[in-house]
């Protein structure tokens, strides 16, 4: 046969083969997953049905929770793997960016009384506030824990399944289709609830939840190339009039107007061959993640309703296995980054904090492997300095290697801040105390993070202090401070055989010191102090005593408690040694005696609080000791005190005072959390205490046989406004009291 003729027949055969292949090629299937928060379990159920019927997915677009479930599937994870990951993640933690107390530096742990959860700043003489209740610090960590570390991609087509996330441009109310970049940031932007979470800055665009403009992105998967779309709508329906009974339900309805409207608009893009799946999940909440598993079953059942239509898209066993192998190869390439050492660790610093303090707290080294949990822990160490609105990281591919870029964003409502605190306690009879606290902090006064902080306490015990805190090194290991404080305190001189006497003491104190932060939890400080003040009691003294003192102090502080009032782990220790020269007026006592307070005094003080826990059982220990050393017959102007709830219960606060003190307590608390309480995320403790202590006059020896024994029972919880507790206490000296606390440390 002629060679040219053979070539002609071969060409015709090849063309016919290509035509027949295109005619009988399977349709490309796109998956559009809608937004709906914790109802997103339904998406997992639909994926399970698709896998069971061996239906491939060629394109995925998702909004909000749909972008998260869809992102996991696009990475190559199976429905079973996604279910396991989603169920293992405590998504409700994403509703808070609060720093756990035990992670704060020692200095910040001493601010527990500022319990009002408001972030208010001052800049250029104007009051400022954050652009959202949250900046998504914890939400970003949850995504990293779930997805692992995903490198920045030039296109989301590089995933196992081409993928798009839908967000809304807040400034223009326009849809933004995210098709490249940092996958975790894209999902966070798509699920970013406006007003709750601050907008995500994406190349200069401020992005929020995509549900506002396109809650079920059917048109997007069609534009990607899908011939057939499987759309899953898990959005809320509009509420009926009878359920619109409060502000929150009305605000929710306004939000639903937007998402329902966008969904109805998208449904217009559906063709006859497309499949719309609407799971029956109206009884599920968008915010209750404990019901996520219920949505999985509903999604599976809703998909089975369309079983005949879905089965028409099924592949043969061989074809489906080939499809799965292709996905697995891409997935393995994506997750390989978690098994390799990183080339570089770079810091992109958008704050006033010095680069070295960020680097030191990150404590990451190039050339080492890094797991998602290790990276999260490193970012948390920096974030816990409480100088940033967000600290996040991206994984950048560089010549077959990867680098970690850490971005630190300073608080955009700073650099000066206002804090507020509120406390109330009462025994419902003769004792009540209310305090309002206000603090102003000017930060970044030096390259090393110097700050000037002033605190004002209004109420039963007025107090004012202002302090200049000046780190000496970029790492802030060493510091100096100068402090002025005014305090007005009433001491109750209680003799159990007579009526109590109250001595009013006003104190003005100056203090200057040099300190060493030997760890995140501990300090060692030495310095000098000077004090002027007065003591007054018309019954005991013929006139007010004016005094002045000066001396030196040494202080050791350590604090790792996870809660100041209801700890379950950690310790707090304060050890102090103060030596002073005291000079005071000579005064005649009402009984005719003379008192001269001109003395040299050395005061040794020790306080400890610690906790351990086993499951829901916690054991808390407390101890305090104070010893005043003076020459025989002399007296100091300073006293220690006892009294109050869990501080020798039965007595009121400062009922007992004297220069010598000993106290100890053992507290058992059980967490009753469950049912409604579990849904709030708050612990609920029932507690019992056994306590012993006393105070002694200067001329008395500390005698353990003179200890007063007491105890209490209480119910309490830690809230965003601090501790709340109701208790009853009594002691063996006949004193008893009911206690209610709000905001005060117990």
Identify whether residues 354 and 428 lie together within a single domain.
Answer: no
72 & 90 share domain: yes
Residue 358 confidence (pLDDT) above 70: yes
Say yes or no: 442 and 387 in one domain: no
Tokens at 644, concatenated: 């109050």
- Per-residue pLDDT at 133: 84
Q: What is the pTM of this model?
A: 0.88
Residue 465 domain flag? yes
Q: Are residues 661 and 697 in the same domain?
A: yes
Average the pLDDT over each of 22-36, 76-90, 515-529, 558-572 and give the range with the smallest value: 22-36
In a domain, 125, yes or no: no
- Please choose, from the candidates 500, 521, 639, the residue with its C-alpha nearest in 3D space to the C-alpha of residue 574: 521
- Helix (H/G/I), strand (E/B), else coil: 570: strand
Report percent pLDDT > 90 for the chain.
71
Which CATH number characterizes residue 39's domain?
3.40.1090.10
**What's the whole-number mean pLDDT along residues 556-565?**
97
Q: What is the mean pLDDT of residues 515-523?
A: 97
Q: Name the domain boundary from 302, 337, 372.
A: 337
Same domain, 208 and 91: yes
Query: Which has more pLDDT, 255 or 619?
Result: 619
Q: What is the CATH number of the domain that holds 396?
A: 3.10.20.310
**Co-location of 709 and 652 in the same domain:** yes
Has residue 104 been placed in a domain? no
- Alpha carbon of 284 to those of 45, 196, 298: distances in Å? 15, 21, 10
Closest to 205 measured CA to CA, from 184, 223, 183, 186: 186
Residues 6+ apart with CB under 8 A from 546: 532, 533, 534, 584, 585
- Model pLDDT, residue 20: 42
Q: What is the pLDDT of residue 479?
A: 98
> Is residue 619 included in any domain, yes or no?
yes
Torsional sign, CA 216, 219, 221, 222 = positive
Q: Are residues 499 and 634 in the same domain?
A: yes
* Residue where one domain finishes, among candidates 308, 337, 366: 337
Contacts of 311 (CB under 8 A, 6+ apart): 53
Q: Pick from 390, 368, 370: which is nearest to 379 by CA? A: 390
- Residues 321, 223 share a domain: yes
Q: Does 653 reside within a domain? A: yes
Q: What are the percentages of helix, strand and coil residues in the chain, rounded to 5?
A: 25, 40, 35
In this prediction, residue 14 has a pLDDT band, given cuts at 50, 70 and 90, of very low
Q: Are 69 and 234 within 8 A, CB to CB? A: no
Q: Within the chain, how many helices (H) and strands (E) appear?
A: 15, 33
Structural domain including 291 reads 29-97+134-337
| Residue 101 confidence (pLDDT) above 90 | yes
Which residue, chain included where needed, has tokens 């040219």? 4
Question: 721-729 long-range CB contacts below 8 Å, 24 or more apart?
Answer: 721/115, 721/116, 721/117, 721/422, 722/112, 722/113, 722/115, 722/421, 722/423, 722/565, 723/564, 723/565, 723/566, 725/565, 725/645, 727/645, 727/649, 727/687, 729/645, 729/646, 729/649, 729/650, 729/689
Sign (positive or negative) of CA dihedral 733, 735, 740, 741? negative
d(CA 337, CA 402): 7
Mean pLDDT (whole number) for 729-742? 95
**Does 2 map to a domain?**
no
CB 149 within 8 A of CB 372: yes
20 lies in a domain? no
**Of 692 and 132, more confident:** 692
% of the chain surpassing 70 pLDDT? 89
Short-list 673, 714, 645, 670, CA closest to 568: 670
CATH code of the domain in which 678 resides: 2.40.160.50
Are 295 and 357 in a shared domain?
no
- Number of structural domains, the chain? 3
Most confident of 127-141, 256-270, 482-496, 667-681: 127-141
Same domain as 200, residue 185:
yes
Confidence bin at 115 (pLDDT 50/70/90): very high
- Flag whether pLDDT at 561 surpasses 70: yes
| Selected residue with higher pLDDT from 608 and 498 | 608
Higher-scoring residue by pLDDT: 460, 17 = 460
pLDDT for the residue 226: 97
- Which has the closest alpha carbon to 554: 479, 624, 605, 590? 605
Least confident of 316-320, 560-564, 595-599, 622-626: 595-599
Average pLDDT across the chain, whole number: 89
| pLDDT tops 90 at residue 291 | yes
pLDDT-derived band at 100 (thresholds 50, 70, 90) equals very high
> What 3-state class would DSSP assign to 472?
coil
* Mean pLDDT computed over 155-162: 97
| Last residue in a domain, options 381, 410, 439 | 410
What pLDDT score was predicted for residue 19? 45
Inform me whether the pLDDT recorded for 650 exceeds 80.
Answer: yes
DSSP secondary structure string, 207-254? EEEGGGT-SS-HHHHHHHT-SEEEEE--PPPPPPGGG--SHHHHHHHH
With contact defined as beta carbons under 8 Å apart, do 490 and 462 qualify?
no
Question: What pLDDT score was predicted for residue 129?
Answer: 92
Determine the pLDDT at residue 18: 41
pLDDT at 104: 97
Domain assignment present for 112:
no
259 and 210 share one domain? yes
Q: DSSP state, 719?
A: E
Query: Residue 34 in contact with residue 233, Cβ under 8 Å?
Result: yes
Stronger pLDDT, 278 or 586, i.e. the higher one? 278
444 and 350 both lie in a single domain: no
Residues with catalytic function:
64, 209
């Amino acid at each position: 046969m002629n060679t040219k003729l053979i070539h002609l027949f071969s060409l015709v055969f090849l063309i016919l083969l290509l035509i027949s292949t295109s005619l009988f090629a399977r349709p490309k299937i796109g998956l559009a997953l809608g937004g709906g928060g914790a109802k997103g379990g339904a998406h997992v159920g639909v994926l399970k049905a698709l896998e069971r019927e061996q239906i491939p997915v060629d394109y995925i677009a998702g909004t909000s929770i749909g972008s998260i479930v869809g992102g996991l599937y696009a990475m190559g994870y199976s429905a079973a793997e996604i279910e396991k990951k989603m169920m293992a993640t405590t998504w409700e933690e994403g509703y808070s960016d609060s720093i756990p107390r035990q992670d704060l530096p020692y200095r910040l742990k001493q601010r527990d009384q500022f319990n009002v959860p408001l972030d208010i700043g001052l800049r250029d003489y104007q009051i400022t506030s954050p652009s959202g209740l949250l900046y998504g610090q914890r939400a970003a960590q949850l995504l990293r824990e779930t997805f692992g570390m995903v490198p920045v991609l030039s296109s989301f087509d590089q995933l196992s399944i081409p993928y798009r996330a839908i967000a809304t441009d807040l400034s223009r109310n326009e849809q933004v289709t995210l098709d490249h970049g940092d996958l975790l940031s894209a999902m966070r932007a798509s699920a970013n609830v406006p007003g709750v979470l601050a907008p995500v800055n994406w190349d200069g665009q401020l992005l929020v939840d995509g549900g506002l403009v396109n809650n079920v992105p059917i048109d997007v998967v069609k534009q990607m190339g899908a011939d057939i779309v499987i759309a899953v709508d898990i959005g809320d329906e509009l509420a009926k009039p009878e359920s619109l009974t409060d502000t929150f339900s009305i605000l929710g309805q306004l939000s639903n107007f937007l998402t329902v409207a966008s969904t109805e608009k998208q449904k217009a893009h559906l063709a006859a061959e497309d499949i719309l799946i609407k799971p029956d999940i109206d009884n599920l909440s968008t915010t209750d993640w404990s019901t996520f598993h219920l949505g999985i079953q509903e999604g599976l059942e809703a998909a089975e309703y369309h079983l005949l239509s879905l089965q028409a898209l099924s592949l043969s066993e061989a074809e489906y296995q080939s499809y799965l192998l292709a996905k697995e190869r891409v997935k393995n390439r994506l997750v390989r980054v978690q098994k390799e050492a990183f080339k570089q660790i770079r810091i992109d610093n958008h704050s006033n904090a010095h680069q070295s303090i960020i680097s030191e707290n990150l404590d990451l080294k190039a050339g080492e492997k890094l797991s998602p949990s290790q990276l999260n822990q490193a970012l948390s160490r920096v974030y816990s300095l409480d100088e940033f609105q967000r600290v996040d990281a991206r994984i950048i591919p560089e010549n077959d290697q990867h680098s970690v870029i850490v971005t630190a964003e300073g608080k955009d409502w700073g650099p000066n801040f206002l804090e507020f605190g509120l406390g109330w306690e009462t025994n419902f009879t003769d004792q009540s105390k209310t305090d309002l606290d206000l603090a102003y902090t000017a930060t970044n006064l030096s390259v090393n993070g110097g700050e000037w902080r002033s605190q004002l306490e209004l109420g039963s015990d007025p107090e004012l202090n202002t302090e200049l805190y000046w780190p000496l090194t970029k790492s802030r290991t060493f510091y100096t401070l100068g402090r002025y404080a005014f305090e007005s305190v009433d001491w109750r001189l209680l003799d159990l055989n007579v009526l109590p006497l109250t001595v009013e003491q006003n104190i003005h104190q100056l203090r200057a010191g040099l300190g060493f932060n030997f760890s995140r939890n501990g300090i060692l400080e030495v310095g000098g102090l000077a004090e002027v003040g007065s003591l007054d009691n018309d019954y005991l003294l013929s006139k007010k005593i004016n005094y002045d003192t000066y001396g030196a102090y040494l202080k050791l502080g350590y604090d790792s408690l996870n809660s100041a009032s209801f700890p379950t782990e950690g310790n707090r220790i304060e050890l102090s040694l103060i030596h002073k020269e005291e000079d005071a007026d000579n005064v005649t006592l009402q009984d005719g005696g003379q008192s001269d307070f001109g003395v040299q005094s050395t005061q040794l003080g020790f306080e400890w609080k610690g906790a351990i826990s086993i499951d829901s059982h916690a054991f808390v220990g407390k101890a305090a000791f104070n010893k005043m050393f003076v020459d025989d017959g002399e007296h100091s102007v300073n006293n220690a005190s006892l009294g109050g709830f869990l501080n020798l219960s039965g007595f009121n606060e400062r009922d007992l005072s004297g220069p010598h003190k000993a106290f100890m307590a053992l507290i058992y608390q059980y967490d009753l959390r469950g049912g409604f309480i579990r849904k709030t995320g708050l612990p609920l403790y029932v507690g019992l205490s056994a306590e012993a202590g006393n105070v002694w006059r200067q001329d008395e020896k500390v005698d353990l046989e003179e200890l007063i024994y007491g105890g209490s029972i209480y119910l309490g919880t830690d809230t965003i406004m601090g501790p709340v507790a109701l208790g009853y206490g009594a002691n063996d000296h006949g004193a008893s009291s009911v206690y209610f606390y709000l905001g005060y440390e117990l």
